[in-house]
Structure 1
Amino acid sequence: MPHAPLSLPRRALLLAALLPSPAVHAQEAWPTRTVRLIVPYAAGGFADTRARKIADALGKVLGQPVIVDNRGGAGGVTGTDVIAKATDGHTFGFGSPAPLVTNPMLMKKMPYDAEKAFKPIILIEEAPLFLTIAPNQSFKSVKELVDFARANPGKLSYGSSGVGGAHHLSAELLAYDTRTEMTHVPYKGGALAATDLMGGHLAFMFEMGYAALPSIQAGKIRALAVSSKKRLKVLPDVPTLDEAGIKGFESYNWLGMIAPASTPDAVIARLNQAVNEALKQSDIRQMIEGSGGIVAGGTPEAYGKFIAQERAKWGPIIKNAKITLE
């Protein structure tokens, strides 16, 4: 028996059900032109090398060019402010601890509200730090270093790339957890501090893997421990700080991708999917893991929760040590 023809309202409803929703359409249509990826640090550094590799992979996945735009200055704040104020729908950037978590605690004035100005896209990498010591130091373990620090308040000196950075705060976390007093010597860059460490002018230093590994492997410095939750494949014999007796110790100089708060959720989802896909590529995984990093990935929600946990973690450390950038 033939079916009765559909009325116009029923035809319209059926057609609407068959067509993609506006959100799906927006997700499929985006991007419509070149995507700009802001790196809030100078060219050639840790964040920049990651960004350029990932930008190339993203361009292939998204079907549009992805260009890296370096906007260094003010500990990452200058470039991160560019991300916060972008309104073109095609500008995003790298998020890291200083401009998103610690600088808002260290600076009296910020050009953006770090908790409201952005949407998280994805955590890309967790980069742990190695606790390294000078070759002229006799410490054979973290316990020996901590025992000396307890018996000699202020006599152990450690270097950093500057006040409030991952090198500095990792050492402050160690001092906080062990209830010890150590002397901070800030430098204008991690390389300068590392040089003085190798020369025996500093007792120890927390260093990122990409910078420390060549010197460790060459015997110029020694690694007592690493700040990750698990041991790293690049140096499997180096224990974690948790294994070394500092229970629960973790510290990372992480990288993720963030978007202006006005970015549609469909675009966030598209970028998240694209970066997760890029992080599966062997060359990108080798770039991260080969320098002591940990490949992350995951959902925007997981990255947002991670950032919130970082704020809760570092706030008491900064307050206890009375650290400021003013």
Structure 2
Amino acid sequence: MSNKVNVSRTHRRQVVLGLVLGAASAFTTGQALAQDFPPKKTISMVVGFVPGGAADTGARIIAKKLGENLGVAVTVENKAGAGGNIAHQYTATGPADGSVLLFGSVGPLSIAPNMMKLPYDPVKDLAPLTMAVNFPNVLVVHSGTGIKTFAEFIAAAKKDPGKLDFASTGPGSASHLAGELLNDMAKIDTLHVPYKGGAAALQDLLGGRVAAWYATFATAAPHIEAGKVIPLASTGTQRLGGLPQIPTIAESGYPGFSATNWYAFVASSKVPAPVLDLWNAELVKVLSAPDVVEQLNKHGLVPMPGSRDDLARYMAKETATWGRIIRERKISAQ
């Protein structure tokens, strides 16, 4: 009996000692990582789209402030192609030291996994850092359509099913799925016309070769001001700050409608957790800075910094929502 008690006590002491040493080792490792942070003198912020668009604009505003705060160079790398998937694959298979941050987007992170087999897994290969910005599209029509209000748009779609068309920046893009969600909720049949990018979609919209587009506010604003396109409704849960007189689709008879663009920071899942946590803290600090908020808002981008877990939950919710629409509407990548 005595020997068993002694063995038990010895075992407990060994377990406790092991836990203490493990905690001490983790603390020391965390301290070392913090002291070596940021991991390099130059940090890469990868963007999956060409310069000049909303993603590139937002990333450059954030990169500038991040570099100033940390005293390092933060360079924006545009790795456009495949709807942003090239940039996401590059980051997923890239360095594991935390020197590469990805300004990820809704398409590759939550839509594409429902439409195609990807060379990376957004959940397993990419680690969430924080939501960056979330912003709605605005449904605009060419001035020559004669449509002035959202109600008139719905009426026109119901009068001639399949005739009223809308542009998108490609199958499965945010602008495409916004139209498909409205088709689903309003029981209408508007015709999807995919383009290879925003520039081509805008050109045909302005030329009257396509009737409508769920455009970003930054892209549509100058053409709205010039009277070339008419804004009908926004796709978020709140009205656009730049177009406060334009209602949301949700308040126009379709409660619950929400189809927003969002960009979030992620990194390779191979990066150590303490480094991921440090990046979260630094990025949240930047996204909360008044000057950064003001600059992003000017471009219709709404900063929404949060925890790593917040972003993981949001990505899962978006993946489920768009997965349902993609399956029910039989949307393919072609």
Choose from 258, 262, 281 the match for 1:273.
281
Q: Which residue does the alignment assign to 1:98?
A: 107
* Partner SS state of residue 221, structure 2: helix
Structure 2 unmatched runs, 5+? 1-19
* More displaced 10-residue stretch of structure 1: 273-282 or 252-261: 273-282
Written as runs of structure 1 = structure 2, the 5 A alignment for 1:1-326 is: 21-33=28-40, 34-89=42-97, 90-107=99-116, 109-326=117-334
Give the Cα–Cα distance (whole angstroms) in 2 for the partners of residues 136 and 42 of structure 1.
Answer: 30
TM-score w.r.t. structure 1 length? 0.89
Give the Cα–Cα distance (whole angstroms) in 2 for the partners of residues 85 and 252 of structure 1.
Answer: 28
Letter in 2 for 1:310: E
The alpha-carbon deviation at position 20 of structure 1 amounts to 5.8
Give the Cα–Cα distance (whole angstroms) in 2 for the partners of residues 175 and 320 of structure 1.
Answer: 11
Note the alpha carbon deviations across 1:7-61, whole angstroms, 9 max, x for none: xxxxxx9xx98x9643244234312312222212223332122222211211222
* Partner SS state of residue 194, structure 1: helix
Give the Cα–Cα distance (whole angstroms) in 2 for the partners of residues 28 and 176 of structure 1.
Answer: 52
- The answer to whether the 8 A contact 1:132-1:224 is kept is yes
* Partner SS state of residue 228, structure 1: coil
Structure 1 unmatched runs, 5+? 1-12
- 1:32–1:189 CA distance, 2 compared to 1 (3 A): closer
- The answer to whether the 8 A contact 1:32-1:64 is kept is no
Give the Cα–Cα distance (whole angstroms) in 1 for the partners of residues 106 and 254 of structure 2.
Answer: 22
Give the Cα–Cα distance (whole angstroms) in 2 for the partners of residues 306 and 292 of structure 1.
Answer: 21
Letter in 1 for 2:81: G
Note the alpha carbon deviations across 1:81-125, whole angstroms, 9 max, x for none: 111012341222111011111122222x31111221111001110
- 1:121–1:145 CA distance, 2 compared to 1 (3 A): same
- The answer to whether the 8 A contact 2:288-2:305 is kept is no
Q: Which one has the bigger helix percentage?
A: 2
- Share of identical aligned residues, percent? 35
Give the Cα–Cα distance (whole angstroms) in 2 for the partners of residues 38 and 102 of structure 1.
Answer: 19
Note the alpha carbon deviations across 1:115-155, whole angstroms, 9 max, x for none: 21111001110121001111122333222221322232101
* Partner SS state of residue 143, structure 2: coil
Give the Cα–Cα distance (whole angstroms) in 1 for the partners of residues 165 and 153 of structure 2.
Answer: 11
* More displaced 10-residue stretch of structure 1: 218-227 or 283-292: 283-292
* Partner SS state of residue 325, structure 1: coil
Letter in 2 for 1:270: L
* More displaced 10-residue stretch of structure 1: 285-294 or 172-181: 285-294
